[in-house]
Amino acid sequence: MRKLLIALTLTIAALTLSQPIGIGANANDFNYQVNPILVPVSPDTSFPNGIPLCRSNGIGVVCYSPNFIKKAYGFPSDATLDGRGQTIVVVDAFGSPTITSDLALFDARFGIPAPPSFTIFCGDSLKPYDITTCPHESINVNTGHHLAGWAYETTLDVEWAHATAPGANIVLDVASTSSGNAINAAEASAIAAYPGAIFSQSFGIPEALITANNGQVLQAERNYANGVALGDTFFASTGDTGATFGTSTPMANFPSSDVHNTGVTGTQGLPYIEVGTLLPCFSSDPFSCTTGLSTFHGPCVLGRVIPPDCIPDGYGGEQVWNEPNFGATGGAQSLLFGVPSYQNGLGLTARGPDVAYDAAVDGAVLVVYSFLGPTFFGLGGGTSAGSPQWAGIAALANQARANLGKGPIGGNLNTALYSIYHSARYSVDFHDITIGNNQLVGTPVGYAAGPGYDLASGIGSPIVDQLIQDIAAS
């Protein structure tokens, strides 16, 4: 049963910078990597909107629709607070040749309105800003596994940024390759074209692999600084292979370690429901069943593909994401960057991660994709799932600020988040993750969660309706 679910894991890293501690001197390029193995969980025509229970080859797994995720994290019930007037820029390499139709089918299946605009932006500094289709975006993904991986990543990012902020404009910023130079060029163009936007980066590279690539790191740092000056906000994933990325040395993921980025770690449900052990929910009483992250009530049955729907009721619980054979969240102090001012007083000696979000594979979000030919539902897990959803949350906060006559939170988001952490509003705005660790199986080092800030979960996961109120007021 575990072997089946390994194929559903999304193995994607993420990175960031800040005040350099020590970086090498040459400008050799590097490549961001994504390597998921794609496995469908059901035929594409069969999921009702309320499903938290999927099946794959007869094995029961936890899976979440947008309704379940939004109910668990307390998104606003006010349908007009949906990110309207805001722009989310999803940064990926290569793109997906079917992303437009996949997003439309995702919206149709889950009852989500289409975004006000969806733009495929050729994020190449050699091309004009108004290009809406990219030659490299139509690459046949069957010609290389890494291209299929980026296509799946693109699909997850676009669909779930939109799911969390359905009223926001979505821009897919497509880099021509996954190299550091190409990603930098793509982001530089999008930063110039979309001031005041929110950027999601579900990719990265362990810092130890870039210590001799000063040119790419400094260019990325310039990009983020330029974006912040224009009112942009940046999110990045912390990675999916524990505190050490399979080595003996703990390190951060780049670009999540940059002081201008908000680094997103991963959680899983508490209790964690083991693959194949999920039970039916026959009760009609509220709050009587759980999939760990989410509470819900029935009657609904294991892996059913017809109504009645399970009804989401709210939040269950979370612990640090660490699924043996699947992955574990990144989260460690940076090898490259010192402690930013907003993290003073946390006991850190270098930059650490910031926030958390659901990343479980058995407990993942549903994704619609067709770039391999047939249309499938798949599971999207790993810290890659958290970055675009946090971008959606920031879009809601910026809309709330605009309603008060204020500009976007921009580069001040981390300052606002840590101000909340140090205030009486912390327990109102965040779930404090206190259980679990991010020591990947077979590696010597990991960090345990505990009360307050920790390297495995930052300051915790959001209680969205309350958090956006305080960001708007900050």
Contacts of 30 (CB under 8 A, 6+ apart): 179, 180, 205, 209, 210, 213, 216
For 312-321, b where at least 16 C-beta lie within 10 A, e where not — what string?
A: bbebbbbbbb
CA-wise closest residue to 256 among 267, 268, 265, 247: 265
Q: Has residue 132 got a pLDDT over 80?
A: no
pLDDT of residue 107: 97
Q: Indicate the pLDDT class of residue 385, thresholds 50, 70 and 90.
A: very high
Q: Which of 248-262, 304-318, 321-335 has the lowest mean pLDDT?
A: 304-318
Instruction: Tell me the C-alpha distance between 307 and 431, whole Å.
Output: 32
For residue 373, the tally of other CB atoms under 10 A from its CB is: 9
Contacts of 366 (CB under 8 A, 6+ apart): 41, 47, 51, 54, 63, 64, 65, 377, 378, 379, 380
pLDDT tens per residue, range 52-79: 888 777 777 889 999 999 999 999 999 9
Q: Has residue 22 got a pLDDT over 70?
A: no
Tokens of 284: 């009609």
Per-residue pLDDT, averaged over 354-364, amounts to: 95
pLDDT of residue 176: 87
pLDDT of residue 392: 98
pLDDT of residue 223: 97
Q: How far apart are the first and last CA of the chain?
A: 47
In this predicted model, which residue has the larger pLDDT, 24 or 57? Answer: 57
Q: Which of 125-129, 158-162, 180-184 has the lowest mean pLDDT?
A: 125-129
Per-residue pLDDT, averaged over 327-348, amounts to: 97
pLDDT of residue 45: 64
Q: Which of 73-77, 269-273, 283-287, 291-295 has the lowest mean pLDDT?
A: 283-287
pLDDT of residue 128: 41
pLDDT of residue 144: 60
Nearest 5°: phi and psi at 164? -85, -20
pLDDT of residue 221: 94
pLDDT tens per residue, range 220-237: 999 999 999 999 999 999
Q: Indicate the pLDDT class of residue 122, thresholds 50, 70 and 90.
A: confident
pLDDT of residue 135: 67
DSSP string, 47-100: --TT--EEEETTEEEEEE-HHHHHHHTT--S-TT-S-TT-EEEEEEES--TTHH
Q: Which of 144-153, 194-203, 299-308 has the lowest mean pLDDT?
A: 299-308
Task: Domain ranges for the chain, please list them.
Answer: 2-473
pLDDT tens per residue, range 85-109: 999 999 999 899 999 999 999 999 9
pLDDT of residue 91: 96
If one looks up domain 2-473 in CATH, what number appears? Answer: 3.40.50.200
User: How does DSSP classify residue 326?
Assistant: T
Alpha-carbon distances, residue 15 vs 105, 263, 265 (angstroms): 31, 8, 11
In this predicted model, which residue has the larger pLDDT, 11 or 143? Answer: 143
